[in-house]
Structure 1
Amino acid sequence: MPDKKIIMVTGGTGLVGKAIETVVQSENRVDETWIFVSSKDADLCDLDSTRRLFEKYKPTHVIHLAAMVGGLFHNMSHNLDFLRNNLHMNDNVLQMSYETGVRKVVSCLSTCIFPDKTTYPIDESMIHNGPPHPSNFGYSYAKRMIDVANKAYHEQYGCLFTSVVPCNVFGPHDNYNPESSHVIPGLIRKLFDTIDNGGDTFLVMGTGKPLRQFIYSLDLARLFVWVLREYDEVEPIILSVDEECEVSIKKVAEELVKSFDFKGSIVFDETKADGQYKKTASNKKLRCYLPDFQFTPFSRAIKESVDWYRQNHLLARN
């Protein structure tokens, strides 16, 4: 029997952590023990608290999902908080992984770390080619530093610390808080409340023109598990749907209206900021490894996400 893996997932009760839990529970592998931890288990911004967590569970592998995250407007007003909290968190997790002999760490980055002024599609070689978009520079620079740290730990100590760069993630167990949610869960919550209050207008901030690639959390979870087991490069890898799957925010709103069977109208508040117009990512590297990977169709993933929220809105992170 191969060596037993003890895999600790930080941020394990969030959107991606819950999706990974769903995937690995369906496999029921005997050579892996999965531990999903949350902020209730440790304050990862505090080194001593992080050390106690590692001493308690003694992981051989770590998937590092924990982060301070939020949508466009939350980032714009709290760039310092996003920078400091994420720098502390990431440094503590990587240092404790090194000190306790963790064999592999897979950290989660984001496509928003890429330069604001760049050519498209973006790929893994372009992360540090210029400043990120000013709306979320705190979060972006903190996440970029994971890539820098991974290479430094490998160079100095031979650690296999790597990272993945997902495009925009959505799915069950998302964060639906209007102040800190990302675009799809934020719009799901807004349309749910509109319908619940008897409204007939679905108000969407911005013009609806920006383009995004969205990945369903269960698809991302399957790819995360593959990275943990099979991907042994220190260099990051983009985990994204194909370029032709990019959709506008207007298209997102229309799919939500269809999934909710909403009979009212969509109105775009063009006085509100759009953020970055596009950040198209290339998944060419992923396709070299997994040419036949099948992503869930966008409309089906939206419908499943809407259905989950409608059934679980009282328990969801609102």
Structure 2
Amino acid sequence: MASKVILVTGASGLVGSAVQKVALEEHDVGDKWVFVSSKDANLESEAETMALFEKHKPTHVIHLAAMVGGLFRNLKFNLDFFRCNMKINDNVLHACFVHDVNKCVSCLSTCVFPDNITYPFDESNLHDGPPHDSNFGFAYAKRMLDVMNRAYNSQHKCTFTSVIPTNVYGPHDNFNLQDGHALPGLVHKGYLAKKENNPFVVWGTGSPRRQFIYSVDLARVIIWMLREYNEITPMIVSVGAEDEISIKEAAEMVVRAYDYKGKIVFDTSKSDGQFKKTASNELMRTYLPDFKFTPMEQAIQETVDWFVKNYDIARK
């Protein structure tokens, strides 16, 4: 009989696919993993969410399902992002409570932190001010996950917590050129530049700095949190501030991964966005002092190789 039944929502996405990969590699005897996506249930529906939990009877949940998008989609649909994610999160956490789930680990994002903040920020700064105007709908809905986690613990002693990753990338990402995030966009642009023998065009000056984290590394930490982390306080998962790199440096890694010999052009008519949003990983290092992140050159090479192999079916 399985010792744990672990339900993973949003399992077909970037992080969910990485969780599947790590779970299969570790192959814990006795644990049953159930990976679900929007094809299995509409989590905006309370009835469908409850039916999903009744069917699988999870003892543990990794909650990754969300309505997500890039800058321009957020700007256009802030209300939709708020309403959709509030419904999903409320339904999933309530189902966890009703079905006596032992632990739920949800996924936030560093973009939910206040726009006006001192760097590096940490978990205690989550609610210190309004988020950036561009994605306030998504940001407030995600912040409410932390509020609900604390409320369920206060009122019902539930162990619900959250992980807060910095800029995640890897296989199964959204490589859309208009609506994706920076690094998957660079991967797609690199593919087209090499295939069509065109210049590799990077939007902006390339000067903004980011802490990138490979999806497989994030998955390893999430699974550790599910097993070992019993606090309600969310945990930032990131490389250290010293490993923050520029978009230009990231673009150069993509170029090397493709062995692209053409010209790199920076389109400075496009906005750079926030120059930096440095996060502290001190809490994570308190618990996981020896955790080793995949070297970024290797992780980008693996991402590029996956994208080339799966170009026809990749989200783009």
- TM-score where L is the length of structure 2: 0.97
Q: Which residue of 1 aligns with 2:98?
A: 99
Q: Which residue of 2 aligns with 1:8?
A: 7
Separation of aligned partners in 2, 1:143 and 1:119? 21
Q: Which residue of 1 aligns with 2:139?
A: 140
Q: Secondary structure at the match of 1:8?
A: strand
Separation of aligned partners in 2, 1:6 and 1:129? 36
Q: Which amino acid aligns with 1:136?
A: N
Summarize the alignment of residues 1-318 of structure 1 with structure 2, pairs less than 5 Å apart: 4-199=3-198, 201-318=199-316
What is the deviation of 1:144?
0.5
Separation of aligned partners in 1, 2:178 and 2:263? 24
Deviations 1:215-244 (A, max 9, x none): 011111111110000000011011111111
Separation of aligned partners in 2, 1:89 and 1:179? 26
Separation of aligned partners in 1, 2:258 and 2:77? 32
Separation of aligned partners in 2, 1:118 and 1:125? 12
Separation of aligned partners in 1, 2:125 and 2:187? 33
What is the deviation of 1:304?
1.1
Q: Which amino acid aligns with 2:65?
A: A
Q: Which amino acid aligns with 2:92?
A: V
Q: Which amino acid aligns with 2:228?
A: E
Whether the 8 Å CA contact 2:238–2:279 is kept in 1: the answer is yes
Q: Secondary structure at the match of 1:7?
A: strand
- The alignment yields a C-alpha RMSD, in angstroms, of 1.3
What is the deviation of 1:195?
2.3
Separation of aligned partners in 2, 1:73 and 1:204? 17
Separation of aligned partners in 2, 1:163 and 1:284? 16
Separation of aligned partners in 1, 2:45 and 2:274? 33
Give the length in aligned residue pairs: 316
What is the deviation of 1:250?
1.0
Percent identity at matched positions? 58
Whether the 8 Å CA contact 1:71–1:183 is kept in 2: the answer is no
Please identify, of 74-83 and 11-20, the stretch whose mean Cα deviation from structure 2 is larger.
74-83
Runs of 4+ in 1 over 4 A off after TM superposition: none
Whether the 8 Å CA contact 1:133–1:276 is kept in 2: the answer is no
Whether the 8 Å CA contact 2:197–2:262 is kept in 1: the answer is no
Whether the 8 Å CA contact 2:208–2:247 is kept in 1: the answer is yes
What is the deviation of 1:157?
0.9
Q: Which amino acid aligns with 1:246?
A: E
What is the deviation of 1:253?
0.9
Whether the 8 Å CA contact 1:69–1:180 is kept in 2: the answer is no
Whether the 8 Å CA contact 1:72–1:275 is kept in 2: the answer is no
Deviations 1:53-72 (A, max 9, x none): 11111111110001111122
